[in-house]
Amino acid sequence: MWFVISNRFFSVGLILFSGMLTSCSVQDDIAVDNAWIPEAPPSVSALAGYLDITNHFSNTMTLSGAESAFFKEVVLHQTVVDRETDFARMIEQSTVTIQAGQTLKLNPGGYHLMLLNPRQMINTERLIPIILLFENGYQKKVEFKVRPFRLHLEAN
């Protein structure tokens, strides 16, 4: 009887301990930081999403798009400035590659997500879920925080 009870406790303890080890050793393969959207007036049909994406996989990951129930369409863009004219234009990107161990920064004036035709009000401090889509089928759900317009100006 004592042997059966101690075996059960040992088994339960082993299961709990292995679960703790697993949760400590598993790192998110794609990490996201600083996900935000600048606040805009309700009549605006296009907003931008910014974030930092770090690839913890051992191989290159290719961001191929994004989707959100809050927007009719989410498109990956890059802002490019012509050095001669100082004219900036946005170019749609079908994919962006993130090397293993590297971070892709989507910032104002560079890569960003174009968030087209909001289906709901995008209010300050609200969290907006967007799913990042990768070429290999991997998906990452991200909560973007809507920042007041003044904070957007201060950040730049």
pLDDT in tens, 12-32: 444 444 444 444 444 569 999
pLDDT in tens, 70-104: 999 999 999 999 889 989 999 999 999 999 999 99
pLDDT in tens, 44-70: 999 999 999 999 999 999 999 999 999
Q: Is the pLDDT of residue 143 over 90?
A: yes
Residue entry with tokens 């930092």 = 52
Average pLDDT over residues 114-128: 92
Q: What is the pLDDT of residue 27?
A: 57
Burial status of residue 78 (CB atoms within 10 A of its CB: 0-12, 13-18, 19 or more): middle
Task: Go through the domains of the chain in sequence order and give each one's CATH number.
Answer: 30-155 (2.60.40.1890)
b/e 31-45 (16+ beta carbons within 10 angstroms → b): ebeebbbbbbeeeee
* Pairwise pLDDT comparison (10 vs 134), residue with the higher score: 134
| CA–CA separation, 64 and 113 (whole Å) | 11
> Does the reported pTM lie above 0.75?
yes
Q: What is the pLDDT of residue 155?
A: 55
At 21, is the secondary structure helix, strand, or coil?
Answer: helix
Q: What is the pLDDT of residue 123?
A: 86
| Mean of the per-residue pLDDT values of the chain | 85
| Least confident residue range of 1-10, 18-27, 134-143 | 18-27
